[in-house]
Amino acid sequence: MSNHSTFRIDPGAEPVVRTPTVLLAFIAIVSSVALAAALVSQHRFGMEPCAWCVLQRLIFIVLAVVALVGLAWRSPLGARVSTFLTMLLADLGIAAAAWQHFVAARSDSCKLTFADRVIEATGLGRLLPDVFEARANCAEAAVDLLGVPYAYWSGGLFIVIAIAAGLAFARSLAPR
């Protein structure tokens, strides 16, 4: 086995990641679990989402789709494109979570904010209201889960995804 076929932190260590495939699968799973957790929080525990929450749901869904496309597109170019896009999307997610926590949560309304405009423009709130309809204002949606603001959980997951995507992108650029 050549050293070019694996990504190693220590040359004597076992391979950490053989291809971006493992990381893309990880990103798809984490994104899907994040969406599932948001939906369970809403429909089982009554944590109604604001427009910024819904925007983050949309970003998690797009992340999962891009990662799955990257898994299906079995070529070096596919790995580069999908991992680069997941890095960008994760960065957008980090920004949305930060904005939600530090700015929007201090506002009584999310109406006419960037998040509200994106969700309205996509029509997803009308097509799939149980997933994409903003049902709370930003201040009401500022809830904690296990004592940690929900936006921190979301932001943390976006950071984990950004790191995984960055590693996968770096691996996709490595010589074969």
Q: Do 67 and 28 form a contact (C-beta atoms < 8 A)? A: yes
Give the model confidence (pLDDT) of 128-164 as tens digits. Answer: 888 877 777 766 666 677 778 888 899 999 999 999 9
Determine, yes or no, domain membership for 19.
no
Answer whether residue 163 is part of any domain. yes
Q: How many domains in the chain?
A: 1
Residue ranges of the chain with pLDDT lower than 50?
Answer: 1-5, 7, 14-17
pLDDT digits (tens, 9 = 90+) for 46-56: 888 888 889 99
Residue 150 belongs to domain with CATH number: 1.20.1550.10
Asked if the structure places residue 7 within a domain, the reply is no
Domain assignment of residue 5, yes or no: no
Residue 106 domain-assigned (yes or no): yes
> Is 168 a member of any domain?
yes
Query: How far apart are the C-alpha atoms of 4 and 51, rounded to whole Å?
Result: 45
Q: How much of the chain is helix, strand and coil, in % rounded to 5?
A: 70, 5, 30
List the domain range (segments joined by +) for residue 118: 26-173
Tokens standing for residue 63: 């992340």
For residue 148, is it within any domain? yes
Q: What is the pLDDT of residue 157?
A: 96
Q: Does the residue 11 lie in any domain?
A: no
